[in-house]
Structure 1
Amino acid sequence: MADDAILRGAAAGGMTLDELFGTVEQEWQDQALCAQTDPEAFFPEKGGSTREAKRICKACAVRDECLEYALEHDERFGIWGGLSDRERRRLKKQLG
């Protein structure tokens, strides 16, 4: 029911669905712990440690949204939702 109200409100406000979903994406990104830390930890040099980024991800309330975004947008670099690119590719194979 709440989702219907949001969609009606967006339509009444003249927002397109793309704009609405962009707003929703922005909301989870604003809540992400990585937005409050050093981004370099999430994009280490080749062979660099991902331990710190993954530790931060484990405590993040929007980890699932982040991983879903990375999978949908085929992110090929960095740690997203607590997984490296290699781990995300492996997960995609398992899921699909």
Structure 2
Amino acid sequence: MLYLVEEQEDDGLLGWQERALCAQTDPEAFFPEKGGSTREAKKVCLSCDVRSECLEYALMHDERFGIWGGLSERERRKLKKRAV
């Protein structure tokens, strides 16, 4: 049964990751050192078709590092605070 759930997640819930532009670029740009620039990663996110799915995933899974859906960790925290 667990196998079926994982398979559904890969094809459905997480299938957006295969279409993400970040999967085709340098992953280090999306996880800059503290104080490093996020400009290049955010530029990629702007033209990504799955940006909203990516951001939703990051918010639902409390991703604390990296650029997800075009937002930094700090920006996601602010967004979550406003939603509460």
TM-score (norm. length: structure 2): 0.89
Could you list the structure 1 runs, at least 4 aligned residues long, displaced by more than 3 angstroms after superposition.
Answer: none
Q: Please list every run of 5 or more consecutive structure 1 residues that lacks an aligned counterpart in the other structure.
A: 1-13
- What is the percent sequence identity of the aligned residues? 68
Match of 2:32 among 44, 53, 65: 44
* Structure with more relative contact order (C-alpha pairs < 8 Å, separation 6 or more): 2
TM-score (norm. length: structure 1): 0.79
Residue 20 of structure 1 deviates from its aligned partner by 1.9
Residue 19 of structure 1 deviates from its aligned partner by 4.1
Root mean square deviation, CA, Å = 1.5
Larger Rg: 1
Aligned counterpart, 1:15? 4
Residue 71 of structure 1 deviates from its aligned partner by 0.1
- Amino acid of the residue matched to residue 59 of structure 2? L
Q: How many residues align?
A: 82
